[in-house]
Structure 1
């Protein structure tokens, strides 16, 4: 790790211990929240997004919010291990943060961390939440675009989840579409969205994070949402 990256890592650690209180949303780069239930394949999807963003010559900063170790209170780092090959790329910064028992799927000090990553030139910024269920609606308060990752077989839970994650998602990605029949779930989501009064109509994308199918469509949908926000001045 270069000295500049070590310094950045130290600054992030300091922010987690002593979070900034000032708002940073106005000046930071685009923030994309990746959320969804456990087992949906969020980490694999983030890995594919990093690859695609690097092919487009972008410099993604990635925050992986991990469950805390019951012994140390630190992040378990499982997600970062799965993305090991990006560690030698100076144009990618990946950091695991521990929830330390905090509900909501995020971690203390994350606002300041996002601002810091933006200051040193990383953009866009990706946040992967811990996958604890509907309490992760907190991600919508910090991310500009929320991607909800689901998988075939989750359809039975769509109705009960409507009041939570489904209503804050800007884009739906039905993962593992190559391993099962994704059609019914996609149909359920689209039927639910047809009843929504939101100006933005969230796209529903079927794909596979394992093979990379649907990743370009996902990034295009994210760009479309960014343009929508700019036009709406939100």
Structure 2
């Protein structure tokens, strides 16, 4: 592990890729490296890119990353793609859509399958972010799978969340009223050369008028990312939101809240691992059968399972 740490400090991108792969595969060596180099984290600014499928998230991310690269910034991109619940495979389409970035020495892209993880992010997303932060990235983009309401998890990870919409996607604005609209710090109406872009923009503005709980008023920006139109406006809005967070003192509080979310997620994973390590498949299926036959209720079953482990013995 000393070798991979040394190579990462030297800026070896292959070492970074290897560390992320190990973390995604739950290799304990990756955890040890991240633990030992954790002191190097906290410097990258995290930008979440989310929204409905087909809105152009990948194109927008690519154009923003390219613009930051031209400024001499180091950029990391974690692009989460959906995993098939049947084959376990992921399309990893962002590797195709972001081809133009692969030759840029300032940009590192990692596509990750969601592996059944809800919330729009991959299970290995946080570890990948830590690895890129350790590597010295200035900005890290986290692009979600784009599946609707479950995208809310991005708000517990990113510093600035960009919600990407496009005209002609049906009743997208109305469908997003139930909470997902609240996570956007910046709204981008992409593919603005299409009919209905101005109408979509007005609908977003009208909905934002109803939200008086925050001192930050999200900007609504029209873009045609494919043609680089509006990209400068999005860059300005990201910088504006970053300055707002830091000047208001919200930035540190938000980072602390995000760390709390990460700790709770790790606790959940560790507790589940501990429980499952003390429960054989036969025992589990035996309990499942009892619940299925109505001989046992699921609430009592879950309590019994916990009692059978070391966790249940810690009183």
Q: Normalising to structure 2: TM-score of the pair?
A: 0.69
Task: Indicate the residue corresponding to 1:181 in structure 2.
Answer: 196
Q: Deviations over 1:170-215 (max 9, x none)?
A: 0000001112231111111111111111111000001111111110
Task: Indicate the residue corresponding to 1:115 in structure 2.
Answer: 130
Query: Which of the residues 165, 180, 188 maps onto 1:165?
Result: 180
Task: Indicate the residue corresponding to 2:112 in structure 1.
Answer: 97
Question: Structure 1 residue 132: deviation in Å?
Answer: 0.6
Question: Structure 1 residue 114: deviation in Å?
Answer: 0.9
Task: Indicate the residue corresponding to 2:52 in structure 1.
Answer: 37
Task: Indicate the residue corresponding to 2:99 in structure 1.
Answer: 84
Q: Distance in 2 between matches of 1:228 and 1:155?
A: 33
Count the aligned residue pairs: 232
Q: Normalising to structure 1: TM-score of the pair?
A: 0.92
Query: Which of the residues 121, 134, 137 maps onto 2:149?
Result: 134
Q: Deviations over 1:78-97 (max 9, x none)?
A: 11122122212221100001
Q: Deviations over 1:49-106 (max 9, x none)?
A: 1221112111110011011245663432211122122212221100001100111100
Query: Which of the residues 165, 187, 208 maps onto 1:150?
Result: 165
Report whether the alignment pairs 1:211 with 2:219.
no
Greater Cα radius of gyration, structure 1 or 2: 2
Q: Deviations over 1:135-171 (max 9, x none)?
A: 1010000001110000113473323312222111000
Counterpart secondary structure, 2:161: strand
Show structure 2 runs of 5+ residues with no match.
1-10, 251-315
Report the more deviating stretch, 44-53 or 69-78: 69-78
Show structure 1 runs of 5+ residues with no match.
none
**Runs of 4+ more than 4 Å apart:** 19-24, 69-72
- Is the contact between residue 60 and residue 123 of structure 1 (CA under 8 Å) also seen in structure 2? yes
Task: Indicate the residue corresponding to 2:269 in structure 1.
Answer: none
Task: Indicate the residue corresponding to 2:66 in structure 1.
Answer: 51
- Is the contact between residue 155 and residue 184 of structure 1 (CA under 8 Å) also seen in structure 2? no
- Is the contact between residue 85 and residue 116 of structure 2 (CA under 8 Å) also seen in structure 1? no
Greater share of residues in helix: 2
Task: Indicate the residue corresponding to 2:273 in structure 1.
Answer: none
Pairing of 1:22-33 with structure 2 (within 5 A): 27-33=42-48
